[in-house]
Amino acid sequence: MLRDEFEWIKSIIPSHSHQKNLLMGIGDDAAIWSVDEDMDQVVCVDTMVEGVHFTRDTLSPAQIGHKALAVNLSDIAAMGAIPQFYLVSIAISPECTEEELHDLYEGMRKLADLYKTDLIGGDTVSTKGPLVLTVTVIGKVEKGKSLYRKNAEPDDVVFLTGITGESAAGLQLLLSKTRQYSFNEAETSLTSQHQMPQPHIKQGRLLAKSGFRTALNDVSDGIASELNEIAEASDVTIHIDEEKLPISSILKSLSKNERLTYQLYGGEDYVLVGTMAEKDFNQVVSEFDKSFLPLYKIGRVTERGETAVLINQEPLTKKGFNHFRER
Amino acid sequence: MLRDEFEWIKSIIPSHSHQKNLLMGIGDDAAIWSVDEDMDQVVCVDTMVEGVHFTRDTLSPAQIGHKALAVNLSDIAAMGAIPQFYLVSIAISPECTEEELHDLYEGMRKLADLYKTDLIGGDTVSTKGPLVLTVTVIGKVEKGKSLYRKNAEPDDVVFLTGITGESAAGLQLLLSKTRQYSFNEAETSLTSQHQMPQPHIKQGRLLAKSGFRTALNDVSDGIASELNEIAEASDVTIHIDEEKLPISSILKSLSKNERLTYQLYGGEDYVLVGTMAEKDFNQVVSEFDKSFLPLYKIGRVTERGETAVLINQEPLTKKGFNHFRER
């Protein structure tokens, strides 16, 4: 039980801001910043609900905070943008202690500091139901450089900025054993992917700064779903080469079927998936190399006019988590 | 029960946008807009929870939508800004029907259209608990013209842009009789103030465009609380003249004590309360007159260095709704 809302809000006001153009953060009716005229502004919002997106068995309070911000930073990354500010709206459940709330905000702050992103506002309210956490992130990207889903064209290379499947495998472990369990090193590596995803901001920036036409999505719902979104937005057919999908060394021991399910439908990996022309791709690979970042070629865009994603010539359907069907 | 999340999201995508500088609304990882270099950007977020901010007995689905957007537009008004965009994150309870959701979004859309404000993003998730609705609004204001709480100075006039107390009186009626009751005309006027508050965007813009130094807050928690925020941020003493507080004709029949409680502590009126120099005030009153908008002088700022709000020489304490104490 918290002492006082006003005291609590005072305790989360940042002592300094990273962004020099912030004019007013927390402390008035709204936050205000001056704009950079060479940049476009970007905004996204995501909500995490206890019992749906996490439970007390899968995420610690600090991990809830980290992840709620990370999934938004990942959306910013998928536009090729630089994060600047975030706002946090939280509906606090009766069971939530002041220490847990503190840890949750600390989890956000630590991640935000890595990307010089400032907390500039929010709302704290009570609920009789589960905890609901909504994070809004604002960023900026050079005019005309944002990376839309609709940018894919025939003959493009399809690429991934990281391995997929570990987060979903980690979630399975957490659901069966809970986070209190003593996991071995390999298992901890999987659970960490689920609990503390690292947004691919750097990768998104390398792609945007390259100036090359790029279609891009972040992998929140699994690459099957994300690639279908790109195929739909661009009206193209995408072929995935199963042999080229990067495989987590930890998941190699699984049956091929089980592993592929994690890789294609797992979701919550928060790597980036996209397409670009082959000649540009080779140049971008060398930029990624310089930063010691992998970039995997996993397929190719073929004709325009038929929206589809194929793997081994079989349709790969959208099969992410659907909040309406699950209810 | 909803058919499909993706279908539902398609159904709420606006067919056109009011803001010509919107580059990407709903349909990618984040929304993007190009900036106006003469303006600063403004952002705020507010959350409404079923069972805390409203119940099925106090607000209809359309009113929930209207009010969730209105309270954010009111924050934008309190900075003197112009609203441009909004994002909606909703955690949907199991009881919520598709028709109710549709009405809720329509309630927002109708209000948004009045102010040429575009829906550009959001998140739809499920919850096993009560409905939680978070709205983020983005706006803009001419560089250096935003109206901060910290702007009050000694000898300023204290003003109100509307009557306070009706919303709280309306809430009392709704709590005792429910919105299904056949209220008479006067009662309906009170309940409407609670259910469908109109943000004072026009008034905020008149104040910002005047160019005069102005301290400003919107009345979400009651003028006692809002004036204390201005007094704290500006480090001044504010005197309220009880005789000058505008009185709702419908509340005149109440005992003075009951009426004053509504007027000072009621909250959710979403009028604006502020301070400015007396000479400037008289000029602004004539601007308000031209638009047939009232502006009430209700007190005066006295010395700097002592933070206090006084009415009839008695301290007027912060006594709004505290979400932590209520739990």
- DSSP assignment string, B133-174: EEEEEEEEEETT----GGG--TTPEEEESS--SHHHHHHHHH
Residues of chain B found within 8 Å of residue A128, distances taken between Cβ atoms: 51-52, 129-130
- DSSP conformation letters of B222-253: -HHHHHHHHHHHHTEEEEE-GGGS---GGGTT
A10 interfacial to chain B (CB closer than 8 Å): no
Q: Provide mean pLDDT across the span A99-111.
A: 97
Query: Among the listed ranges A276-290, B95-109, B308-322, which one has the minimum average pLDDT value?
Result: B308-322
Q: Which candidate from B132, B138, B148 shows the least CB-CB separation from A43?
A: B138
Q: What percent of chain B has pLDDT over 70?
A: 96
- Residues 108-137, chain B: which have Cβ within 8 Å of A? 120-130, 132, 134, 136-137
Exposure pattern of B77-95 as b/e (b: 16+ CB <10 Å)? Answer: bbbbbbbbbbbbbbbbbee
Q: Provide mean pLDDT across the span A71-80.
A: 98
Report the sign of the C-alpha dihedral through residues B75, B77, B81, B84, in that order. Answer: positive
Q: Shortest Cα distance from A230 to chain B (angstroms)?
A: 9
pLDDT at A152 over 60: yes
Burial of residue B326, with CB atoms counted within 10 A of its CB: 0-12 exposed, 13-18 middle, 19 or more buried: exposed
pLDDT at A232 over 50: yes
Q: Provide mean pLDDT across the span B242-270.
A: 95
Q: Report residue B264 as tokens.
A: 């000072």
What is the bridge-based pairing of β-strands A132-142 and A272-276?
A: unpaired
Q: Report residue A220 as tokens.
A: 């929140």
How high is the mean pLDDT of chain B?
94
Q: Report residue B291 as tokens.
A: 């638009």
Q: Which candidate from B30, B121, B326 shows the least CB-CB separation from A76?
A: B30
- CATH of B5-142 among 3.20.20.120, 3.30.1330.10, 3.30.9.10, 3.30.70.20: 3.30.1330.10
User: Residue A209 and residue A203: Cα distance in Å, rounded?
Assistant: 10
Q: Which candidate from B40, B94, B138 shows the least CB-CB separation from A34?
A: B40
Q: Provide mean pLDDT across the span B299-308.
A: 95
Q: Are A274 and A215 in contact (CB under 8 A)?
A: yes
Q: Which range scores top for mean pLDDT: A26-30, A152-156, B309-313?
A: A152-156
User: Residue A155 and residue A300: Cα distance in Å, rounded?
Assistant: 6
pLDDT at A321 over 90: no
The complex's ipTM works out to 0.94
- Residues 248-287, chain A: which have Cβ within 8 Å of B? none
Mark yes or no for CB contact B134/A129 under 8 Å. no
> What pLDDT, on the 0 to 100 scale, is given for residue B11?
87
Maximum Cα interatomic distance, chain A, rounded to a whole number of Å: 62
Q: Which CATH class is domain B149-315?
A: alpha beta
Is A118 assigned to a binding site? no
Find, among B92, B88, B82, B91, the residue nearest to B65 by Cα: B88
The residues, ordered by sequence, that sit 6+ positions from A216 with a Cβ below 8 Å of its Cβ are: A78, A79, A80, A147, A148, A149, A151, A204, A207, A272, A273, A274, B29
Confidence category of residue B326, pLDDT binned at 50, 70, 90: very low
Q: What percent of chain A has pLDDT over 90?
A: 91
Q: How far is Cα of residue A236 from the mean position of the Cα atoms in its chain?
A: 24
Q: Where in chain B is the domain with CATH 3.90.650.10?
A: 149-315
Mark yes or no for CB contact A121/B2 under 8 Å. no
Confidence category of residue B10, pLDDT binned at 50, 70, 90: confident
Q: Are B170 and B72 in contact (CB under 8 A)?
A: no
User: What dihedral angle (degrees, nearest 10) is formed by the CA atoms of A121, A125, A129, A130?
Assistant: 30
Residues of chain B found within 8 Å of residue A216, distances taken between Cβ atoms: 29
Q: How far apart are the first and last CA of chain B?
A: 30
Query: Among the listed ranges B45-49, B162-166, B242-246, B303-307, which one has the minimum average pLDDT value?
Result: B303-307
Q: Where in chain B is the domain with CATH 3.30.1330.10?
A: 5-142
How much is the CA Rg of chain B, to the nearest whole Å?
A: 20
Confidence category of residue B137, pLDDT binned at 50, 70, 90: very high
Residue at token pair 């901010």: B53
Q: Are B241 and B161 in contact (CB under 8 A)?
A: no
> What pLDDT, on the 0 to 100 scale, is given for residue A291?
97
pLDDT at A162 over 50: yes
Mark yes or no for CB contact A121/B76 under 8 Å. no
Amino acid of residue A143? K
How much is the CA Rg of chain A, to the nearest whole Å?
A: 20
Confidence category of residue A2, pLDDT binned at 50, 70, 90: low
Residues of chain B found within 8 Å of residue A215, distances taken between Cβ atoms: none
User: Residue A268 and residue A247: Cα distance in Å, rounded?
Assistant: 16
Confidence category of residue B324, pLDDT binned at 50, 70, 90: very low
Residue ranges of alpha helices (H) inside A19-148 are: 61-77, 98-114
Mark yes or no for CB contact A28/B79 under 8 Å. yes
Helix (H, G, I), strand (E, B) or coil at B269: coil
Q: Provide mean pLDDT across the span A284-301.
A: 98
Q: Report residue A274 as tokens.
A: 């996209």
Q: How far is CA B128 from CA A63, A126, A128, B5, in A?
A: 21, 16, 11, 17
Q: Shortest Cα distance from A253 to chain B (angstroms)?
A: 34
> What pLDDT, on the 0 to 100 scale, is given for residue B2?
60
* E strand or H helix at A185: helix A185-195
- DSSP conformation letters of A60-84: -HHHHHHHHHHHHHHHHHTTTPEEE
Residues flagged as binding site of B for substrate = 53, 268, 321
> What pLDDT, on the 0 to 100 scale, is given for residue B9?
82
pLDDT at A209 over 90: yes
The residues, ordered by sequence, that sit 6+ positions from A31 with a Cβ below 8 Å of its Cβ are: A22, A24, A25, A85, A87, A120, A121, B42, B43, B44
The residues, ordered by sequence, that sit 6+ positions from A124 with a Cβ below 8 Å of its Cβ are: A5, A8, A9, A89, A90, A92, B323, B324
Measured between CA atoms, the residue of chain B closest to residue A36 is B37
